[in-house]
Structure 1
Amino acid sequence: MKKHAFVLALALALPFSAAAHKQWLVPSQATVAGQDVWVTFDAAVSNQLFFPDHVPMRLDNVVATAPDGSQVPLQNASTGKYRSTFDLHLQQEGTYRIANVNRGVSASWDTAESLAAKAKARAEGKPVTGQGAPRGGFLRNARPEELAAKIPADARNVQVTETLGRVETFVTNGRTTDIRPLGEGLELVPVTHPNDLFAGEEAKFVLHVDGKPAAGLEVEVVRGDTRYRNAQEEIRATSGQDGSIAITFPQPGRYWLEASTEDGNTRVPKASKRRLVYVATLEVLPQ
């Protein structure tokens, strides 16, 4: 099976996905109807879509937003060896937005030992970057206030990256309602409603970064059940000048969508760049 290059390193709390490990939130039903409806969710990080075979997604930062903008508490939340589960009580009509939102910083630096090892590697004509090259220290998924305590005082060439990731899915009770842009980080703004997707029909979305259309970003879309086929069968699209993308889903099923980007618009004083990742799980219905 085709292997992908890493997008972001997995942290202990797994705020973002690596290409071999994909994060996802999957509802038992994406469209329901009723005044007293329950939906169960699975949440995991896996190698195969959507089979929990790696580690569970932590639920600390999962937020469910009702159609009126209020937050809905997670019910019966549980984290096991390979997946987390929770229930939502859908009492309003409209579209619910369920997301795992993670913020943090990562950092890398050289030590006296790693600098000496790099100097030796250069002298011997060996690579000093990439896999197998000498490495110094690395910090993943930390809070900004932890940087001073966790980076050694004698660290050299310190590089700090701010990270912001969103992994989400959508559930509609009864009729679909508008999904309001958040205006922060990387997000998918629907033109075609995410609970109104049909195989063979073109769906349109707009990518935003901090509330503005983002041009030139690549989106990767993979249909689930990768366990049962040898090829990922990725669909790729690049956002236009207005941030728009168009995707035609070839067949019914659940799909995993991811986009990522980097910029220098950091809010952490010591960070030199910002890493943004967006992931959505979408259900596509037969015509």
Structure 2
Amino acid sequence: MKSFIRAAAALALLVPVSAHAHKAWLLPSSTVLSGKDDLAVTIDAAASNDLFYFDHRPLPLDNLVVTAPDGSKITPENTSTGKYRSSFDVSLKTPGTYRVAMVSDNVFARYKENGEEKRWRGKPENIAKEIPASATDVVVTHAQRRLETFVTAGKPDETALKPVGSGLEMEPITHPNDLVEGDEAEFKLLLDGKPAAGVKVEIVRGGIRYRNKLEDTTVTSDDKGVFKFKWPEPGMYWMEAAVTDDKSAIKEAKERRASYAVTLEVLPQ
């Protein structure tokens, strides 16, 4: 029973959440910096009921990937995990745009062995050796999640923004660190590197703890995967999209659940 509960809880962390459930997010101390010396940002990682407020649990930092402006991967500094949040620093040693992402790619399986129902969670490459050959009624779900934010030191560039071609991701048309109140921004959703059409994107402005309504907005990507949104006011915004299909590259998986979420800062006019 304990293993069943752990597996179910792990699956819940990767399944996209509704407007009233826990939201997973990254929150940078700043997204646009100027100057030349000792530039850095601190980023918090958590899941919470109230967006950008620490009230539920920290996110693990195992799958953290930071991409520098030249496309290389850099190591975050001063990582720590507390009761409600994880934190880390990113040193911005070269000018340009940095991509900060938490990327997970896991499978979840339920099956029966000798009449007993069991659960398993792990990496795709371990399915064959972890699930017994004698198992019956095997159902495998492939879960992909990408959680991101972007930070720019000096002049923005686009090298770190290039799509990776796996799972659900966002290809910015408007630069993610050039968002201004009252302007309309344009983005493209990709699924395995191809336009993701007809996908609903939930957009929520931070500060929901201090207002009576969530004030969330839902837009839908067009046939080219593009969606647009006009920022009503400055602040930190959270966007999430999710897709469920049967297009997993893992042959054992009958279902693939791919989700994407990003934190963006909108500046005043």
TM class by shorter-chain length?
0.7 to 0.9
SS in 2 for 1:11: helix
Name whichever of 28-37 and 265-274 sits farther off. 265-274
Note the alpha carbon deviations across 1:18-55, whole angstroms, 9 max, x for none: 33111111110000012230111101111111011111
The corresponding residue for 2:4 is none
Shift of 1:12: 7.6
The correspondence of residues 1-287 of structure 1 with structure 2, limited to 5 A, is: 10-11=9-10, 14-19=13-18, 20-35=21-36, 36-109=38-111, 137-139=118-120, 141-147=121-127, 151=131, 156-178=136-158, 179-287=161-269
Percent of matched pairs sharing the same residue? 50
Kept in 1, the 8 Å contact 2:200–2:218? The answer is yes
Shift of 1:106: 1.3
Shift of 1:15: 4.1
Kept in 2, the 8 Å contact 1:222–1:257? The answer is yes
Which whole-Å CA distance do the structure 2 matches of 1:223 and 1:109 have between them?
41
Note the alpha carbon deviations across 1:50-98, whole angstroms, 9 max, x for none: 0111110100111110010011111000001110001111011110000
Which blocks of at least 5 consecutive residues in structure 2 are unaligned? 1-7
Name whichever of 223-232 and 211-220 sits farther off. 223-232
Which whole-Å CA distance do the structure 1 matches of 2:162 and 2:32 have between them?
19
> Closer, same or farther in 2 for the Cα pair 1:230/1:184, shift >3 Å?
same
Residue 283 of structure 1 aligns to which amino acid in structure 2?
E
Residue 140 of structure 2 aligns to which amino acid in structure 1?
V
Shift of 1:213: 0.9
Kept in 1, the 8 Å contact 2:28–2:44? The answer is yes
Kept in 1, the 8 Å contact 2:11–2:108? The answer is no
Shift of 1:152: 6.5
Kept in 1, the 8 Å contact 2:170–2:190? The answer is yes
Which whole-Å CA distance do the structure 2 matches of 1:271 and 1:12 have between them?
15
Which whole-Å CA distance do the structure 1 matches of 2:74 and 2:12 have between them?
23
Which whole-Å CA distance do the structure 1 matches of 2:136 and 2:79 have between them?
43
> Closer, same or farther in 2 for the Cα pair 1:170/1:205, shift >3 Å?
same
Kept in 1, the 8 Å contact 2:16–2:242? The answer is no
Kept in 2, the 8 Å contact 1:220–1:258? The answer is yes
SS in 1 for 2:53: coil
Higher alpha-carbon Rg: 1
Name whichever of 243-252 and 225-234 sits farther off. 225-234
Which whole-Å CA distance do the structure 2 matches of 1:227 and 1:174 have between them?
33
Shift of 1:10: 4.7
Which whole-Å CA distance do the structure 1 matches of 2:73 and 2:95 have between them?
14
TM-score, length of structure 1 as denominator length? 0.83
Kept in 2, the 8 Å contact 1:10–1:16? The answer is no
> Closer, same or farther in 2 for the Cα pair 1:201/1:14, shift >3 Å?
same
Which blocks of at least 5 consecutive residues in structure 1 are unaligned? 1-8, 115-135
> Closer, same or farther in 2 for the Cα pair 1:277/1:171, shift >3 Å?
same
Which whole-Å CA distance do the structure 2 matches of 1:82 and 1:149 have between them?
35
SS in 1 for 2:209: helix
TM-score, length of structure 2 as denominator length? 0.88
- How many residues end up aligned between the 2 structures? 257
Residue 55 of structure 2 aligns to which amino acid in structure 1?
D
RMSD: 2.2
